[in-house]
Structure 1
């Protein structure tokens, strides 16, 4: 396909932005470009697939290509042996034809046709049959056997002579000997030498063979079809058929001396190194067992090679190095460890530590610096051994300042970023951390490396997050979102960026978006991969915190046990301490004091060992709460006060606010209301100033308790009511009495809910009662004058009659509500005061939709798409179904719902376009379809969906979409000419 190009993919290749973990994303880019180019079936052929049987990444790449390619792209796969492909196409796909050797073998008649009619050879039938039998009907075997028999035809007089010609030979031996026998003697020694090369570059071939005419000789072999071929358009690179190369290498091993082979490899190493083909040079080093040369190449070019995202390639070479060699060569060990950091982090430690020891012994400080930097990374991301990592920082920092002038920019970014992470996580020293991370980010921008910038943003985001600077962190999270959508950023960095997003969401109680984005992370990186780093266990820890905040202790305990079994990282002191402090918390609330205390004590010991200021403070907060629950009030006050002092010392505002609220609750349990009020005043003020609405570890019971005290003492009343509405779905009335909010659902079937339970549906009240509730809910401030209601309901009745009807309707509505509200007071929700009927302590889903939509569009104006999406997701989810026009009797309600539909169409259109432009077509289609359910004839949505299907090569879906649109228009009685014009506008 000469005219095909994939500009983005080509740009990524040039800039070294391809990554072995990004196969599905890379295939999607290419498939999207292919679908735009293919107008008819195009066949892609993969021959000798068995050569990839041990190449997992290459087979994965092919599997993704099979699964995600456009329908016009067809495949022919050829292999000598069965090869396992993890592809849904093979498991569930249709239109697959599998042919085995027996299916492809020539019959005797077919062999006769080939030899007699096509090749114009004159062999007897019994000879043809014997050739076919010996070759097992293999076409190539038949051809080669035919050629050889033709050469020996003078000695062939009968069938027995044919058999003698093949006696004790299988067809492969025959192929090797007969083909090689026809090559001139002057060529053979050179070919044996060249067979040791990966690719035969003509200038390299001349150096190795000493033959200036080798290019012409190779051309003769290519032209004569001697299983040689050119591999580039300029005919400067040659190669051999795999079977022929295998044979030549076998001959080379027999006839060339070890010294000759060593000399060939040495020339190839120098040539490849000079041509900047590092992987090739390293493979020649491996073949030659020249590990000193490999060490030198890695020292000078290894980091540059890694900067081009070639970690998987590098690792494939280095892992073939004998283990005793790996661990006795500093640069081989170091580069193996660094490559493992991205691909399989749990395996990197032994290599990095061994490299560090070698470099220390040799006083090779540059190597020691790089080893230390990656060990800091290991102790942060994998082992979670924060105190151990902290011990490495002084030496790392000292060496960095001594050698930073000589460090390549790529290495400088990585080292500065890792030092920043160390100060952030190990010491809680955010000023020093920010100094290094700012330097690393500027250098990453200089290099124009989105991947490196993403890795630095992870650190800078946590600098803000751990300090509790959420507003500042939102800026970093928006930049992280931009990079998440950037195809140049590798999946390993996207994992880190996703982590910052979901950590922020769980820390601030945005559970709906947390679970949505957690699923997106798991779609990007499987759970088993995540479990090799601290990210995997943290997903369990964050889930546990959320479940506890909902008061579901048994479910949380099961999640603790599941998390602890998730992998070796979950058993490190850093992570295990956190599982145990939650376990202690849960068991204390399940009234298992001894088990709770045991878990608490072990958690505290592990945390003292692991270190890390943020986690030490959080550990004390939760364990202080455990001691308070167990009645150990002096111990609780002591531990919580220590936590507060540390939070203030490190200026960690989120933990300071949380500690004050937890200590206020602990004080209240022993009647120290004055102390509790003091803590609440300071803690709620801190929350308000920083926009916090959620604190880890506050169960609904605890939160209600402290908020009630705050209301009773006139502390941050409006802010407290906002927290109560968001977190408890309740409010507080005069005197601190808690009232569950009445949730009125209109975006779909009309119904009333309290505490997440449906208490009344439209079918369970009279039509008049339902109509009255809808009018009230859609009125300004949910209030209506009695006379306005009477006029709307009974316009023909006298004032007296209308008033009587109103009284009767209101009385019956109150009885209907009271029958489902149990002990709750109707007057808390429905009151008539001075002729005004009012719904109070109520939340209307439509109002929430309007608020979130408006907030989302404000973020869109500022190009803050991550925050916009966090508003749009819950807004869209509020729409359960369309609202039937027949169920609406009042213009006020009709206009209100119409305005909501208009907002919804605008929302899904705006968001859908953004997702489509960000190559998130699947998500865009889901969102757009939700809008289309509300209005199937909305042309803007139909156009977007139609062209998305077309762009994805889903032509049948696009056609079906258009047909359904046409049927809907016909049902709306559009004129034929108008209908055709509307369809034309969609497909234009």
Structure 2
């Protein structure tokens, strides 16, 4: 509510406005006014806004605004009502759909700020009055901090509070662009006191009187007003009974005397009792006042008293809602407490509650019933409406209310307890189990099966996400299933989806019963899809994805991943569900060994999610576990062990048996790989004890496989075989193709170490065959030393030979000699500075080779299949020489090149470079440009099929091959320049395709980053420039858009276009974007 202040009846604070408030340039981002009640904060800010003629939105803060969703909703409502033409459709849709959790606040605020930035043509001040009524340390304060830091330059903030404002944003901490006023600043000086009496109060006082009043009141405006009734020197309310200057707080006794004699005494006696009743209302709607006060013309009375300044304010233009001044309200409440019984006061609150309940203002009604101590009625309301209130984003308001109840009261009421637990799930999930276990027992006694089902479902969720006590979670699955089947026709849709989803999660994670898991998750998914509730759809897809992951059905998982990818940028999907979807993908990327994309997605998660929330779930340690697995796979066991140690010390959920067991088993694996046998055995033994306690069939199977891998490396082969066979048997009961692959390859390795190559062949063939058929090229516990032995055996024994060779090349950077012995690949870098390297060691750079040596290598590595006729090389390098002389030059050049390279190779040069029937051949090589071609074309193929998640992954890998250099920077032959053009065109094509898709999903910054990088190849590429210009405009960065056009213009001039032609090209870009 904006204040209704008669500026003719207030003192203009000219000096303060000049010195502390912004000038016409609006050069203050934040104005903070902290001062005690009655110090004139509201009047001062109102004067500033009136004089500056600036657009403003006045937000009257209440205790309910500790709920940040409520504050955001009302702020949007306020902006819609007061800024002509303004709307924020995405935010409105999200709020209406009821899918805002604590992790979503930043994203929702960004939608609002983006739309404000588009709309505003002049400065806007957002005024938050009575900020002290918000609980500090709440999410609302963090929301306000985010608004300050990320709002457009035209948006400014004014905060008014009686207490220190605990906003710690960077802007406020730095103090730049911040104006701060406190009680001392607002205190009137002697001259202003004289002006107040002369111009406003119309009373004459001397300078001596002004000095005396200033000394006694310390310039406190309310005190000065009181001192005018009667004038200083004759008032018993402000007798000078202290030789020291009074504190800034008023003498309470004097103030109460004043209200009794001057204000309350002036109210007709017949209205005394009605006003005492009304004093318990925070807001006084006229129709409610008539009901409580039992006075017919109460609206006229309130309006009249507002005009006569009886410490009563009108909160709306139509004078339908009023509010008592805090001081006067406290005085009336003290009088009322003496006059009315506790039951009388409770009945006033009940009347107020019924008034709000009739108008569907349930949260206000609940607060009133709480004030009345009527917890039974609160219980009844929350039983009937609690779930729907949660669906409408009323989480924080009700949580604040329930948190104010002592636990001994809360736990007496089933639905109050249940709602208190549900409301904590997204905010403090680790605290929820006592609520659900207690209330579940009470629901069993009262026979309320719907309540019991909700509690059981959330207990499953707790053991799945927080505690990792899968054994305990498994125990309640039968009862949950029974209740769901029995009540499925009467339960509200959101409860059905939640219960079926959590039941599916239990069957998947706790029991490994994938058929039951699929049955219930399909029910949940169909129901959510039928009602098109995107947030619920996302929550079911998380479980569906994990079912396919654990089953090892890679193709089905990828279909689910593509559906999930379309939900990532849907504004109706909550951030907590986005977190789950990201974790699912990270688990997949770790399982299949896509290390680079894992790192990219992990960074994206860390940038988008509040780490404090992540740390409360199993997500945080899982990220360390998966990263450690990646490091083992890359042959970096010491780095992996460091990650595992960090996981133990930095995340709270790492102490659960479920997670601690996994950390210990991976530590045991790392210690065994690095030769610390005793420590490895100790860790794997501890891990088994914890795993047996935690349960979880998939994890029991994988633990057995890891134990077998550890025992193999410490040469306890009998224990290794026993563990691996147990792991294989469990994996087959799930069934999990992925775990079966893990077990078979580790069994092959164990047999190889224990009994030789022949004993390993059977398991090796079955394992590689399963990998090939199911599209796997990696598995957890892949480790280079083991896989080098097994893949070498496969090549020598002709077991899935071509597949084994591909695995060795892609995963281990190994090729094979004619005898089947592994040899490291010779690596050629064309999209970075030209280099030839082997096993990570650089052998030659461009400067180390002669011109002809470089060109010969360039022709060879860019030839199709890396095979080129020597005649073609001779023609390219020595076109004017006779065939005989060219042949001699070729032979000499090749001999010198072979002689240069041979000393650096671990085997014969013939295993890398040879002549065959006049064809120069390269083998056992890897070339970054070929990897780029492969991933780029794969990504474009995925695009055509609409598989955008896989396309983006392929594009990330492709672009990572390019290190800002191209073959044309080193080589000069026509063949290589043509090869260079193919690279450039493909890079531009994936840039356009990728950036367009990102633009359509609203990911402007990522799209801009990609285009800016690719434009480095060709700054004159028009299609990239047009798209980048469009993106800058969509991102509201007009400065960057202008800079891009100017940069493009300079590039055209540099390329010898005339200024007229350059201007024509620029106009074309601008017109194409406008159209």
Shorter-chain TM-score: what band?
over 0.9
CA distance in 2, matches of 1:123, 1:822: 103
Aligned partner of 1:315 in structure 2 is 399
> For 1:878 and 1:97, how far apart are their aligned partners in 2?
50
Partner in structure 1 of residue 184 of structure 2: 102
968-977 or 102-111, which deviates more:
102-111
Asked if residue 15 in structure 1 is aligned to residue 94 in structure 2, the reply is no
Corresponding position: 1:720 with 2:799: no
Alignment pair present for 1:895 and 2:978: yes
> Taking structure 1 as reference, are residues 247 and 805 closer, same or farther at Cα in structure 2, changes over 3 Å only?
farther
Counterpart Cα distance in 2 of 1:249 and 1:964: 70
8 Å CA contact 1:70, 1:953 repeated in 2: no
Paired position in structure 1 for 2:385: 301
CA distance in 1, matches of 2:311, 2:857: 85
Q: What corresponds to 1:733 in structure 2? A: 817
Question: CA contact under 8 A between 1:908 and 1:927: conserved in structure 2?
Answer: yes
TM-score of the superposition, structure 2-length normalised? 0.87
Aligned pair partner of 1:933 in 1016, 1032, 1046 = 1016
| Residue 393 (structure 1) aligns with | 477
Question: SS where residue 843 of structure 2 aligns?
Answer: strand
- Contact kept in structure 1, 2:829 and 2:929, CA below 8 Å: yes
The one of 899, 905, 910 aligned to 2:988: 905
- 1:245/1:816 CA distance change after superposition, 3 Å: farther
Mapped partners of 2:691, 2:511: distance in 1: 14
Evaluate the alpha carbon distance shift between residue 161 and residue 381 of structure 1 in structure 2; reply closer, same or farther with a 3 A threshold.
closer
**1:788-826 CA distances to partner (integer Å, 9 max, x unpaired)?**
11111111222222222222222222233235x242432
Match of residue 41 from structure 2: none
Q: Please give the per-residue CA displacement for 1:125-163, whole angstroms capped at 9, x wherever unaligned.
A: 23333444444445x54xx735x555535xx6x699996
2:541 to 450, 457, 461: 457
Q: Residue by residue, what CA displacement relative to the aligned partner does 1:388-410 show, whole Å, maximum 9, x if unpaired?
A: 11110111111222222221111
Q: Which residue of structure 2 lines up, in the alignment, with residue 924 of structure 1?
A: 1007
- Deviation string for 1:473-512 (max 9, x for gaps)? 1111112122221111111111111111111111110111
Residue 753 to residue 433, structure 1, CA distance change in 2 (3 Å): same
Query: Is 1:832–1:838's contact at 8 Å kept on the other side of the alignment?
Result: yes
Tell me, what secondary structure is at the counterpart of 1:405? coil
Matches within 5 A, 1:662-811: 662-811=746-895
Contact 1:551 1:699 in 2 (8 A): yes
Show the counterpart of 2:937.
Answer: 854
Alignment check: 8 A CA contact 2:103 2:610 kept = no
Query: Aligned equivalents of 2:1056 and 2:774: distance in 1?
Result: 56
SS of the residue aligned with 2:755? coil
Q: Deviations over 1:609-635 (max 9, x none)?
A: 221111111001010111111211122
Aligned residues of 1:379 and 1:389 also touching (Cα < 8 A): yes
Q: Could you tell me which residue of structure 2 aligns to residue 515 of structure 1?
A: 599
1:152 is aligned, of 226, 230, 235, to 230
Evaluate the alpha carbon distance shift between residue 735 and residue 815 of structure 1 in structure 2; reply closer, same or farther with a 3 A threshold.
closer
2: distance between equivalents of 1:479 and 1:241?
A: 56
SS at match of 1:784: strand
Structure 1, residues 570-612: CA drift from partner, whole Å, max 9, x if none? Answer: 1222111111111221222232222222221221222222211
Alignment of 1:110-125 (within 5 A): 110-113=192-195, 115-116=197-198, 122-125=204-207
**Shift in alpha-carbon separation, 1:801–1:54, aligned structure 2, 3 A:** same
Residues 240/689 of structure 1: CA separation in 2 closer, same or farther (3 Å cut)? farther
The match for 2:1053 among 952, 960, 970 is: 970
Determine if the alignment matches structure 1 residue 476 to structure 2 residue 557.
no
- Using structure 1 for the length normalisation, give the TM-score: 0.94
Question: What does residue 872 of structure 1 align with?
Answer: 955
Q: Secondary structure at the match of 1:78?
A: strand
Residue 494 of structure 2 is aligned to residue 416 of structure 1 = no
User: 2: distance between equivalents of 1:436 and 1:759?
Assistant: 58
Aligned partners of 2:834 and 2:970 also within 8 Å: no
Q: Of the candidates 32, 38, 41, which is equivalent to residue 123 of structure 2? A: 41
Choose from 905, 913, 917 the match for 1:830: 913
Structure 2 counterpart of 1:60, from 131, 139, 142: 142
Alignment of 1:577-656 (within 5 A): 577-656=661-740
Query: Whole-Å Cα distance in 1 between the matches of residues 336 and 982 of structure 2?
Result: 81
- Mapped to 1, the partners of 2:285 and 2:139 lie a distance apart of 27
2:535 maps to 1:436:
no
Structure 2 CA distance, aligned partners of 1:863 and 1:243? 65
Residue 497 of structure 1 aligns to a residue whose secondary structure is helix
Q: Quickly say closer, same or farther: Cα 1:33–1:93, change in 2 above 3 A.
A: farther
2:435 — aligned with what?
351
Query: Aligned equivalents of 1:252 and 1:742: distance in 2?
Result: 91
Distance 1:767 1:289 in 2: 91
Give 5+ residue unaligned stretches, structure 2.
1-82
SS of residue paired to 2:127: strand
1:6 to 1:554, Cα distance in 2 relative to 1, 3 A: same
CA contact (8 A) 2:550 2:738 kept: yes
**Using a 3 Å threshold, how does the CA distance of structure 1 residues 656 and 104 change in structure 2: closer, same or farther?**
same
The answer to whether the 8 A contact 2:521-2:540 is kept is yes
Q: Using the alignment, how far apart are the partners of 2:622 and 2:207 within structure 1?
A: 74
- Give the SS at the match of 2:426: helix
CA contact (8 A) 1:192 1:249 kept: yes
Q: 1:448 to 1:526 in 2, by over 3 A?
A: same
Contact 2:474 2:511 in 1 (8 A): yes
Match of 2:79 in 1: none
Number of aligned residue pairs: give it: 980
Higher mean Cα deviation, 112-121 or 706-715?
Answer: 112-121
1: distance between equivalents of 2:1008 and 2:365? 47
Question: Which residue, out of 423, 426, 429, partners 1:339?
Answer: 423
Question: Shift of residue 762 of structure 1?
Answer: 1.1
Name structure 1 gaps, 5 residues minimum: none
- Greater Cα offset, 354-363 or 164-173: 164-173
Distance 2:942 2:308 in 1: 68
- Bigger CA drift: 300-309 or 388-397? 300-309
Indicate the larger mover: 174-183 or 748-757.
Answer: 174-183
When structure 1 is superposed on structure 2, of 600-609 and 122-131 the one drifting more is 122-131
- For 2:771 and 2:759, the matched residues in 1 are separated by 18
Name the CA distance, whole Å, in 2 between partners of 1:225 and 1:805: 107
